[in-house]
Structure 1
Amino acid sequence: MSRTRTRALTAAALMLAIALGWLAAASATAQEADGLVAGQILMGTAGATLDGSALQVRLVILEAETVAGTVDATVTDGRYEARVPALLSRTYVPVITYRGIQYFVPPAILDPSAPEVVQDVTVYETTTERPDLTIESTTVTLVAIDRDLGQMGFLREDLVRNPGDRVYIGDDRGVTLRLPVPEGTLEGAGDNPEGTFTLEAGAISVALPIRPLSTTSVVTRTLVAYDVAEDKYTLRVTAPLAADLVQVRVPEGFLRDLAPQGGAGRADDAVVGEAPDTTTLHVVSQAAVGPGQGLIVTLEGFAPERRVNALTETTGAVIAVVVALFAVGGAVTAATLRRRGGA
């Protein structure tokens, strides 16, 4: 098994456990606590003081890429500390929750010869006042076609920047972003376990905390209908915020042609996956896209049968998989897709 896939499985197990609430119920098997995982919790918001009553720290225990239990850490004067067994077979992931926002500390593996790991983490206050958000990049990938049904599956990732020093938690519904969907969208959902996604009024409303001083990855999926008789579809990817770059990627063999419109143009092909299971993606891109503007490209000559690519790595009916994503919760969606071979 590759390192990339191992990391993906570990992340999937952890995120699924957190999202489904397993962490609160899990408990670790009693063993000699000869190791230490500790660190200082720092406040990253200017002028704010860490509120100890709003803190919770729990260590998630991973064994063989599955969640084996949890251990609550003590927190004193902003320092968290947990005594745990120093076993090479275990990985400990400290999860800090501050005002409802989760922060993940890098995984710790305790060697009996070096049984202590100290890692600090910075947390931030929250705000409902929208900061000057921008998008570093938007990437839309065609991941499935079913010509029989006249349907396509798209995966979209927006890397959203928050220049402030507070976590933006959105309006009274928690909505922080609204992503316009393509014409003909039948279903829409998201893959971020800590967020919720609602298809409404021609957009996916995203209720996901936007973290400060970094980029937040917002991953959404849409199932889109097209006219089989016409055998082409004009895709418009609209930016809700100013975006440095917008791209559309289509696996080789899915279409006869990509026809960029307006300010969009062809870019160098990209290759995804791990050899020998790689896929070449044809790319159309547009730089400096303003709020409400978008990249427009016409997709022509759809492949006559269902297709599979390294982004999904499945041998079944791909559209059925895409449809299934909208029938389950976001956390299950994320874990399922990553178990099937996501990055």
Structure 2
Amino acid sequence: MRYAGVEYVSPMVQLNEQPQQTVDLTVYETTTDASVLRVNSRSIVIAGASPELRAVDVMDIVIVENTADRTYVGDSSGVVLRIPLPQGAQEISPQPGFDYGQPRLEGNVLLTTGPVPPGSHTIVLSYTVPYSGTRATLSIGTAMPTGTLRVLVRDGTYELDSRSLIDTGTVEVSGVTYRVLAVDAPVVGDTHVVQVSGLPRTGLLLDLPLGPSIAIAVGTLGLLVALVLTVIALRRRRAGPQEQAAAAVDERLQLAAELNRLDEARAAGDLDEAQYNERREAILAQLRQLVLRERGVEGGQ
């Protein structure tokens, strides 16, 4: 249902055994006060490297909380969240499970327009960052009050180093050990630089099984869907002309927004399972064609 200009949907309701049911749906008044939003944590996971493409794979998990009792609908320009990405980030893929609205890039900052209701919400992004030699540099900005910023890598693979993030040791998640650099309460507007060294010079893609473990650690259903699309993100292309790269990013963002709206329509009961699966497969097919086209593979036109 729509209230105060915001669409609200209930959890999925199974009507097979009980066709008539009553569902409680909480709606909220709205606010444009940005101070109600904060990032509880941001975890940037180094998920692998493609030496033949000189690119590092990254999974970025941001947990945002609206501390008010009103839905935050953004500032006067309609922007709700500003998420600074590392300099040079490419192939940015917002994953389903969060209302991005109509996401777009402004420089290296991802802007979202979807309203944020009260409570905690998880954002999952996948992207790549280029590197040369055996070292990558991640420049990570902060645009909102943040509880903790972390960078993680599977222990024994690559090395992490930073002047502003502290080595907090290792953490074990589902039998896998990760090295963690972290800083609490980073200053809004500051940029933190993390060096990733020990990357391969040549060879095949190093594919680390980080996704499932991180999904379990964060404990969010959206990450399970994210892992499926991350497989696509891990098969990258060589960078093309700047105009083509910008167009590809825009198309990815639009397709991600379509997937998100499709999930909402199913949850609201506007689509049955057959309709949902058909439309979802059509969007995923467009994503696959986009990846093929970016890589210059025949059939991706």
Coarse TM-score class (shorter-chain normalised)? 0.5 to 0.7
Between the aligned partners of 1:316 and 1:179, the Cα distance in structure 2 is 22
Query: Is the partner of 1:118 in helix, strand or coil?
Result: coil
2:167 aligned partner, one-letter code: G
Query: Is the partner of 1:122 in helix, strand or coil?
Result: coil
Matched, 1:248 2:148: no
Matched, 1:126 2:25: no
Q: What does the per-residue CA deviation read over 1:293-315, in whole Å, with 9 as the maximum and x for residues that have no partner?
A: 35443211114431223424787
Q: Is the 8 A contact 1:189 1:198 kept in 2?
A: no
Aligned residues: 233
Identity within the alignment, %: 25
What is the CA-CA distance between 1:332 and the residue it aligns to? 5.7
Structure with more relative contact order (C-alpha pairs < 8 Å, separation 6 or more): 2
Matched, 1:149 2:53: yes
Between the aligned partners of 1:297 and 1:289, the Cα distance in structure 2 is 14
Closer, same or farther: CA 266–279 of 1 in aligned 2, 3 Å:
same
1:268 aligned partner, one-letter code: T
1:165 aligned partner, one-letter code: D
Q: What does the per-residue CA deviation read over 1:154-203, in whole Å, with 9 as the maximum and x for residues that have no partner?
A: 22222222222221211354211222221222343423454232222231
Between the aligned partners of 2:125 and 2:166, the Cα distance in structure 1 is 22
Q: Is the 8 A contact 2:59 2:125 kept in 1?
A: yes
Q: Is the 8 A contact 2:73 2:114 kept in 1?
A: yes
Matched, 1:318 2:234: yes
> What is aligned with 1:195?
101
Between the aligned partners of 1:98 and 1:106, the Cα distance in structure 2 is 17
Closer, same or farther: CA 131–201 of 1 in aligned 2, 3 Å:
same
Q: Is the 8 A contact 1:265 1:284 kept in 2?
A: yes
Q: Is the 8 A contact 1:223 1:322 kept in 2?
A: no
For structure 2, the residue ranges without an aligned partner over 5 or more in a row are 212-226, 240-244, 261-279, 285-301
Query: Is the partner of 1:121 in helix, strand or coil?
Result: coil
Q: What does the per-residue CA deviation read over 1:117-146, in whole Å, with 9 as the maximum and x for residues that have no partner?
A: 433221012233433321111111223421
Between the aligned partners of 1:261 and 1:190, the Cα distance in structure 2 is 29
2:166 aligned partner, one-letter code: A
TM-score (norm 2): 0.64
Task: Calculate the aligned-residue CA RMSD, in Å.
Answer: 3.5
TM-score (norm 1): 0.57
Matched, 1:107 2:7: no
Query: Is the partner of 2:236 in helix, strand or coil?
Result: helix
Closer, same or farther: CA 241–193 of 1 in aligned 2, 3 Å:
closer
Between the aligned partners of 1:248 and 1:322, the Cα distance in structure 2 is 26
What is the CA-CA distance between 1:245 and the residue it aligns to? 1.0
1:249 aligned partner, one-letter code: L
Rg (Cα) greater in structure: 1
Between the aligned partners of 1:173 and 1:189, the Cα distance in structure 2 is 23
Query: Is the partner of 2:144 in helix, strand or coil?
Result: coil
Q: Is the 8 A contact 1:243 1:289 kept in 2?
A: yes
**2:194 maps to which of 290, 297, 305:** 297
> What is aligned with 1:137?
41
Q: Is the 8 A contact 1:264 1:295 kept in 2?
A: no
Closer, same or farther: CA 159–128 of 1 in aligned 2, 3 Å:
same
Alignment of 1:52-67 (within 5 A): none
> Which structure has the highest strand share of the two?
1
For structure 1, the residue ranges without an aligned partner over 5 or more in a row are 1-95, 273-277, 337-343
What is the CA-CA distance between 1:322 and the residue it aligns to? 12
> What is aligned with 2:83?
179
Between the aligned partners of 2:47 and 2:76, the Cα distance in structure 1 is 34
Q: Is the 8 A contact 2:103 2:257 kept in 1?
A: no
> Which structure has the highest helix share of the two?
2
